[in-house]
Amino acid sequence: MSDKKYKDILTGHNYDGIQEYDNPTPGWWWLVFHCCIAFAVCYFVFFHISIYGWTRDEAYSAEVKRNFDKQFAALGQLEVNGETIARFLNEPQWLDVGRTVFQTNCISCHGKQGEGLVGPNMTDDRYKNIKQIGDFGTVISNGAAKGAMPAWKTRLSPNEIVLVASYVASLRGQNLSGPRPPEGDVPPPWPVPDKPADAETPAKPDAPK
């Protein structure tokens, strides 16, 4: 170091002829060091002790949930009936939400694609409990076969039941092969929704007119 006051003061050590100057660690280094310690203490208290500290995963889930709630708020409170379920058949954006509900709660018994497992195949034309599209709402809400198909009305909101019902109904006719043979009868085709489900939800401000 060229600074005059640090110059040439020896520590008095001597290792095989190598001597050491007593140059103190510069001020900026101590500043950074102490800032690091202060930061570590704040970090530890914030993230590991306080109730405000979020991991990135928690922050992400909270954001996803907020977004989900916002979407549901746009739908309002749906009624679980055939007309409502049919309304969403042509709404890929909402069927995606239904798919998420399905993947979270139903694939353990109905298979990843609805091809059936413990429960029946949802992708063929045959149904055990469904005579018309509204029956999806009833079966999903109340369960079937004495609880072999669980009742979901205490675990899912009406909106989630409607969307997962539409999603399951939309799987009809893909005929994916599953472990179970086709079960039940062939109900008439689902009604075609006469107006898009979004017609009643407020248009986004920047939506094209």
Q: Which helix (H) or strand (E) holds 18?
A: strand 18-21
**Subset of 55-114 contacting ligand HEC (CB under 6 A):** 102, 105-106, 108-110
Can you read off the two tokens belonging to residue 103?
Answer: 């993947």
Sign for the CA dihedral angle at 150, 153, 154, 157 comes to positive
DSSP 3-state of 14: strand
Nearer to ligand HEC, 14 or 104 (CB): 104
**Subset of 158-197 contacting ligand HEC (CB under 6 A):** 164, 168, 183-184
| CA 179 to the chain's CA centroid | 28
**Subset of 6-45 contacting ligand HEC (CB under 6 A):** none
34/27 Cα distance (integer angstroms): 11
Give 185: exposed, middle or buried? Use CB within 10 Å, 0-12, 13-18, 19+.
exposed
Of the candidate residues 120, 137, 178, 193, the single one contacting ligand HEC (CB under 6 A): 120
Q: Smallest distance, Å, CB 205 to ligand HEC?
A: 34
Quick one: which segment of 8-16, 33-41, 75-83, 135-143 binds ligand HEC (CB under 6 A)?
135-143
Q: Which helix (H) or strand (E) holds 103?
A: helix 92-105
Nearer to ligand HEC, 102 or 198 (CB): 102
Q: Smallest distance, Å, CB 61 to ligand HEC?
A: 20
Q: Smallest distance, Å, CB 114 to ligand HEC?
A: 9
Of the candidate residues 85, 139, 162, 197, the single one contacting ligand HEC (CB under 6 A): 139
Nearer to ligand HEC, 166 or 197 (CB): 166
- Count CA atoms closer than 13 A to 82's CA, side-chain side: 10
Which residues, including other chains, have CB under 8 Å from residue 176's CB and lie 6 or more apart?
A: 113, 114, 115, 121, 123
| CA 148 to the chain's CA centroid | 26
Q: Smallest distance, Å, CB 85 to ligand HEC?
A: 11
Q: Smallest distance, Å, CB 95 to ligand HEC?
A: 13
Total residues binding ligand HEC (CB under 6 A): 26
Residue numbers of the site for ligand HEC (CB under 6 A)?
Answer: 102, 105-106, 108-110, 118-120, 127-130, 136, 139-140, 144-145, 148-150, 152, 164, 168, 183-184
